[in-house]
Amino acid sequence: MTTVALIGAGPGLGLAAARRFGTAGHRVALVSRSAQRQDTLVAALAAENIEARGFTADVLDAASLTAALDEAADALGPVEILQFSPVPRGDFMKPVLDTTPTDLDDPLAFSVKGPMICVNAVLPGMRKLGRGTLLFVNGGSAVRPNPNVAGTSIAFAAESAYAHMLHSALADENIHVAQLIVPGAIRPGAEHSSPQVLAERLYAMHTERDGFRHYAEPMPT
C-alpha cells in the first residue's frame, strides 16, 4: 500500500482529497502546521476506515518539511502521490506598486522552494516504486497575473514553470506531473470548485494522467 501526502492539509480541499484517495486504498499523510487540526482530520478519516496520520511542518521551514515527508514514508509506506496545495498567506497579496523585493522572499520560498523541497523528498521513493504523481493546485493568478496580488502572482507563475518542467523531465520515468488551476474561491456546494468536486478532479488527474494543466472551470474574461 502506498501513501498520498497532502501538503497544507486542512478541513476543506485537504480533507476531501484525503477521503478520495483514502477510499481508493491509499494511506494518507496530512502535512500542515497545526497538530491539533491534524488530529481532528485523522479522527474524521478513521471513522470512515481511512488510515491517516498527521505530520507537522511549515512550508517555509525546509528542514521540517523534509523531515515530515521522510517520517510519513517510514510510517505509512512510500509516497506515490504528492499534492501541494497550501493556502498562501494574506500578506503575499499586496498590489504590485506596493510590493518590494523583500516582499517576494516568503511568497517565492512558499510556492517555489517549498514544492522543490517536497519533490526532492519524495522523488527517490517514487523512482523506487517505478511510478508516482505530483499534483500542484494553484489559483488563477498562476496563469493570468493579477496586479492586486503581486507576490502570489509572481510566485505562482514560477511554481507553474517549475511544475511544467517536471512534467516533461519525469514523463519517461512514469512519474506524472499535473497542475489544477482553481480560478475562484473553493466553496462548499459550488458546481465546479467545491472541495469534493476538486478532489475528484485531482484523483482523475492521478489516474488518467492526461496532460499537464487542468482548469476547475473556465477562467473569467
pLDDT beyond 80 at 220: no
All three cell numbers of 135, joined, read 499534483
Please report the beta strands in the chain, taking only residues with DSSP state E, as ranges in sequence order.
3-7, 27-32, 52-56, 79-84, 132-139, 175-182, 213-215
DSSP 37-67: HHHHHHHHHHTTT--EEEEE--TT-HHHHHH
Query: What are the pLDDT digits (tens) for 20-68?
Result: 999 999 999 999 999 999 999 999 999 999 999 999 999 999 999 999 9
Q: Place 91 in a pLDDT band, splitting at 50, 70 and 90.
A: confident
d(CA 85, CA 81): 13
Q: Any idea what DSSP says for residue 109? A: I
Task: Quote the mean pLDDT of the chain.
Answer: 96
Residue 85 scores a pLDDT above 90? yes
Q: What is the rounded average pLDDT of the residues 167-181?
A: 98
Question: For the chain, how far is it from start to end, CA to CA, in angstroms?
Answer: 44
pLDDT at 221 over 80: no
What's this model's pTM, rounded to 2 decimal places?
A: 0.96
- Domains present along the chain, CATH in parentheses: 3-215 (3.40.50.720)
The span from the CA of 122 to the CA of 115, in Å, is 11
Could you tell me if 122 and 55 are in contact, meaning their C-beta atoms sit under 8 angstroms apart? no
As a whole number, mean pLDDT of residues 203-207 equals 98
